[in-house]
Amino acid sequence: MKTILLHGGTLILPDRVKEVADIIIKGKIIEWVGKKNKFPASIKIDEEIDVSDKYLLPGLIDSHTHLSFNGKEDMLVLCKQEYETLLFETVRSAAKTLKSGVTTIRDVGGFNYSDVYLKKAINEGLIEGPDMLVAGKAISITGGHLFPLTYEADGVKEMKKATRLQIKNGADLIKIMVTGGAVTGQNIEVVHFDLEEIKAVVKVAHEHKIKVGAHVHGSSGIKRASRGGVDAIEHGSLLDDESAKIMKDNGVFLVLTRGLEFMFEDISESWLKRISPIRKKTARVIELAHKFDIPIAIGTDAGGNQFAPHGSMPRLMEQLCKEGMSTTQVIKSSTIIPAQLLGVEDSAGTIESGKIANILVLKDNPLSDISTLRNIVNIINKGEII
Ligand SMILES: [Zn+2]
């Protein structure tokens, strides 16, 4: 097993710049982190990389992706293509994601379990990609959000079965569709599941030590999903004071997917028509999440829509800095906070000994210039420099 020394870089902690440090990587694990030239003499170094004028950030975590889809076309159009073709595209999507500095993703809804197979191929070293937590098939009501792609279930009994089936098929988390969405053009204020149905999913998932993310846009849906015990609200577009308070009281994370839609001018007419009602109303989400101290994890929704191509995390982070988040908040929401949401805080989210060696080498300090993430010098993924 090779031992690499990253010599003399400046470490970025969740909220500040730490002193110059040495990092020793053994295989895929961070073996030692400490002051420059102070590591134990017993550690034999095979390769030394001088990073003395560079900044070191933990690999980014994208909390909301759909690697099974290419993002160029509608999910509902894509799922009519040959499954095998889509599978090859997932390989490219994984590579693009990794090359943007994202070393861990929470993939929240694939196509016929392509997410499960992709994760397996990455874990077996067949292809390069980020560490993945996958949801398998999202669960919706009959005719719910994106139903041609989901597992449709109604009633407590079917919800339990649907949850157990996702776990059986390899899901690391459960995704439920609690309201309609921009893609399908359904009324986003209609709540799709009863409280008892949501509670049934949460009970089964939590018994299996896995978490539940709820796709929700409308405020009624945010309230019901939060009361039902879900761990995260995805999107949360129409968050208001009341629903924000209920999220806070129930310890629910917000997975913020807002932002990228402001960065592209070539969005098609039909898309604009579908997203504009939501777009107009989402402006307060960040402000309210801050006001009620709700933990924010950032997600690109890559693959899920036209304005979120794979590999766009650095651009989204830049955009969110323009929309009322500080660079510190944006970096926390892309590293340490999502590590807690994903339940991987023991292996990701910071640069510490014992964690997986997912490290970005940057030219400038991202806390003062977030755009340095556009040109990452080196990406270390599971101990390998790519
Ligand atoms: Zn999505």
Euclidean distance between CA atoms 78 and 281, whole angstroms: 28
Q: Which of 102, 66, 170, 75 is nearest to 315 (CA)?
A: 102
Report yes or no: 272 and 34 within 8 Å, Cβ to Cβ.
no
| Confidence (pLDDT) at 84 | 85
Strand partners, 211: 173
Ligand 1 centroid from CA 177, angstroms: 10
| Confidence (pLDDT) at 185 | 73
- Phi, psi (rounded to 5 degrees) for 94: -65, -45
CA 118, 101, 298, 211 dihedral sign is positive
- Phi, psi (rounded to 5 degrees) for 376: -75, 135
CA 217, 211, 331, 183 dihedral sign is negative
| Confidence (pLDDT) at 52 | 94
Ligand 1 centroid from CA 65, angstroms: 6
Ligand 1 centroid from CA 234, angstroms: 8
Ligand 1 centroid from CA 260, angstroms: 13
**Torsion-angle region of residue 293: left (phi > 0), alpha (psi -120 to 50) or beta?**
left
Ligand 1 centroid from CA 12, angstroms: 30
Ligand 1 centroid from CA 328, angstroms: 25
Reading the block at residue 151, the tokens are 């597992």
Euclidean distance between CA atoms 215 and 224, whole angstroms: 12
Ligand 1 centroid from CA 208, angstroms: 23
Reading the block at residue 350, the tokens are 């910071």
Ligand 1 centroid from CA 86, angstroms: 17
> In the chain, what are the domain boundaries?
3-57+351-385, 60-342
| Confidence (pLDDT) at 276 | 67
Ligand 1 centroid from CA 327, angstroms: 24
Euclidean distance between CA atoms 356 and 76, whole angstroms: 36
Ligand 1 centroid from CA 153, angstroms: 19
| Confidence (pLDDT) at 19 | 75
Ligand 1 centroid from CA 350, angstroms: 26
b/e burial code for range 114-125 (CB count within 10 A of at least 16 → b): bbbbbbebbeee
Ligand 1 centroid from CA 125, angstroms: 27
Ligand 1 centroid from CA 72, angstroms: 14
For every one of its 386 residues, what pLDDT tens digit does the chain have, with 9 covering 90 and above? 899 999 999 999 876 777 789 999 999 999 999 998 898 989 999 999 999 999 999 999 999 999 998 777 677 777 777 888 888 889 999 999 999 999 999 999 988 999 999 999 999 999 999 999 999 999 999 999 999 899 999 999 999 999 999 999 999 999 999 998 866 778 888 999 999 999 999 999 999 999 999 999 999 999 999 999 999 999 998 999 999 999 999 999 999 997 655 555 566 677 667 666 666 666 789 999 999 999 999 999 998 877 788 999 999 999 899 888 999 999 999 999 999 999 999 999 999 999 999 999 999 999 999 999 999 999 999 999 98
CA distances from 100 to 308, 335, 338 (A): 13, 14, 17
| Confidence (pLDDT) at 374 | 95
User: Which of 3.90.1300.10, 3.40.640.10, 3.20.20.140, 3.30.910.20 is the CATH number of 60-342?
Assistant: 3.20.20.140
| Confidence (pLDDT) at 271 | 66
The CATH number of 3-57+351-385 is: 2.30.40.10
Reading the block at residue 220, the tokens are 């009624």
| Confidence (pLDDT) at 227 | 98
In angstroms, how far apart are the furthest CA atoms of the chain? 64
| Confidence (pLDDT) at 323 | 85
Ligand 1 centroid from CA 379, angstroms: 26
| Confidence (pLDDT) at 86 | 85
Ligand 1 centroid from CA 304, angstroms: 5
Q: Model's pTM, two decimal places?
A: 0.94
Ligand 1 centroid from CA 128, angstroms: 23
Ligand 1 centroid from CA 210, angstroms: 19
Give the strand pairing for 384-385 and 378-381.
antiparallel
Ligand 1 centroid from CA 64, angstroms: 6
Identify the three-state secondary structure at position 285.
helix
Strand partners, 29: 26, 356
Ligand 1 centroid from CA 10, angstroms: 35
